[in-house]
Amino acid sequence: MFRPDTRGIFISLCLTRVALSLLHPECEFYFQLEKEERLCLRYIAEQENRSTEGCRPLWDEVVCWPQAVTGETVQRGCPAVFSLFKNNTGSVSRNCTSRGWSKPFPAYHVACTVDDDIPETEQSYFATVKLIYTIGYSISLGVLAVAVFILLMFRRLRCARNFIHIQLFLSFILKSVAVFIKDANLFPSYDTNHCTLSTFACKASVVFCHYCMMTNFFWLLVEALYLNSLLLSSFYHSRRCLWGLSLLGWGVPVVFILLWIGSRVYFEDTECWDNTKDSPYWWIIQGPIVVSIAVNFMLFVNIIRILIQKLNPRLIQFNNSSQYRDFLSLSSIAFSIKRCRKRSACSG
């Protein structure tokens, strides 16, 4: 049988690579073992009705051993999963005795060399990265919470512009909280096998994290739309307008998140929904984000164009002169009205 200590080494190596990649592509270690186990069990089921002489097929959690006659020595190459850690050309053998299969020789951890000494830099890399972004999110969370508190406390700061700022700050606060919740559910400890983890809590945390990420981009889009409207003065900022912007920032992401949840439930309900690599349904979330970024860029270019026009010296001089002419005309009108009033008063 496969030695438990060696299997633990492989699991720890896989988990280290998983932690570093975040999207756990190296979970192929588990998936490949499961695939080989299914194939072996199918082979064993097919051999059940055949001759019972010798040694029956065996799955020892690593290699599938075929039917063999007594006295036969069967040699098998190192499993393909070992190539995830180090290229191997070794082999393992078993003897078919009258008492059944013998122990593998040489042992798997000897024949199929694995570098079980994980470098300290690799061990501490993910922990360091996690510590850095945890501190960063915590500082951001605290500063944004203070900013929202200040904007809500003082009545003089309550206006449409600050209302939109508050919503944007709240989206960043929720994103920070979502990251902490996701880490708590997917990486509660170093030994957690999240490759096969599939619970309601972890899926809900992933969904919440994706939703908060989408709201970030959409509220940035709302900020750009509002700034354009201020520069153009094209529409009146009523409460109905603010409700529409709120619906864009909070409501539109809900639609795409629900569509993504439905696609994952019916077509790709695997693991904890955090593996989006090579998933066509990820574009249900990624597509609107890309569109919002593109629209934001166009609005940014338009804002720069408007500001350049407003800072043009010729236009400034023209505006000043036109405003001066308007002022003179208004002054003359006011002076004429005043003279007329005086004349009427004197004549009366």
Q: Domain containing 42 — which CATH number?
A: 4.10.1240.10
CATH of the domain at 194: 1.20.1070.10
In a domain, 194, yes or no: yes
Residues 239, 185 share a domain: yes
Whether 345 is in a domain gets the answer no
Q: Are residues 62 and 177 in the same domain?
A: no
Q: Is residue 344 part of a domain?
A: no
Tokens matching residue 233 = 């003065």
Do 79 and 39 belong together in one domain? Answer: yes
CA angle (228, 229, 235) in 5-degree steps: 160
Q: Is residue 281 part of a domain?
A: yes
Three-class secondary structure assignment of the chain: CCCHHHHHHHHHHHHHHHHHHCCCHHHHHHHHHHHHHHHHHHHHHHCCCCCCCCECCEECCCCEECCECCCCEEEEECCHHHHHCCCCCCEEEEEEECCEECCCECCHHHHCCCCCCCCHHHHHHHHHHHHHHHHHHHHHHHHHHHHHHHHHHCHHHCCHHHHHHHHHHHHHHHHHHHHHHHHHHHCCCCCCCCCCCCCHHHHHHHHHHHHHHHHHHHHHHHHHHHHHHHHHCCCCCCHHHHHHHHHHHHHHHHHHHHHHHHHHHHHCCCCCCCCCCCCHHHHHHHHHHHHHHHHHHHHHHHHHHHHHHHCCHHHHHHHHHHHHHHHHHHHHHHHHHHHHHHHHHHHC
Q: Which of 89, 57, 52 is nearest to 74 (CA)?
A: 57
Residues 165 and 17 in one domain: no
Task: Please give the structure tokens belonging to residue 239.
Answer: 């409460």
The answer to whether position 139 is within a domain reads yes
Q: Does residue 270 belong to any structural domain of this protein?
A: yes
Same domain, 104 and 135: no
Q: Are 124 and 106 contained in the same domain?
A: no
When divided into structural domains, the chain yields a total of 2
The domain in which residue 158 lies consists of: 120-310
My answer on whether 239 and 155 are in the same domain is: yes
Residue finishing a domain among 83, 111, 139: 111
Residue 305 lies in a domain: yes
104 and 189 within one domain:
no
Residues 218 and 252 sit within 8 Å (Cβ to Cβ): yes
The three-state (H, E, C) secondary structure of 174-195, written as one string: HHHHHHHHHHHHHCCCCCCCCC
- Encode pLDDT of 20-52 as tens digits: 333 344 566 666 777 788 888 888 888 777 766
- Based on the fold, state whether residues 129 and 87 are members of the same structural domain: no
Q: Which of 111, 134, 162 is a domain's end point?
A: 111
* Cα-to-chain-centroid distance, residue 8: 29
- Rounded distance between C-alpha atoms, residue 34 and residue 51, angstroms: 27
Residue after which a domain boundary falls, among 111, 144, 169: 111
Question: pTM of the predicted model, to two decimals?
Answer: 0.61
Mean pLDDT, contiguous 10-residue spans, the chain (348 residues): 39 39 51 78 79 79 83 80 61 85 81 58 70 90 92 84 90 92 77 64 90 94 88 65 87 94 87 77 92 93 85 60 48 48 41
User: Do 127 and 150 reside in the same domain of the chain?
Assistant: yes
Residue 107 sits in the same domain as residue 38: yes
**86 and 183 both lie in a single domain:** no
In-domain check, residue 96: yes
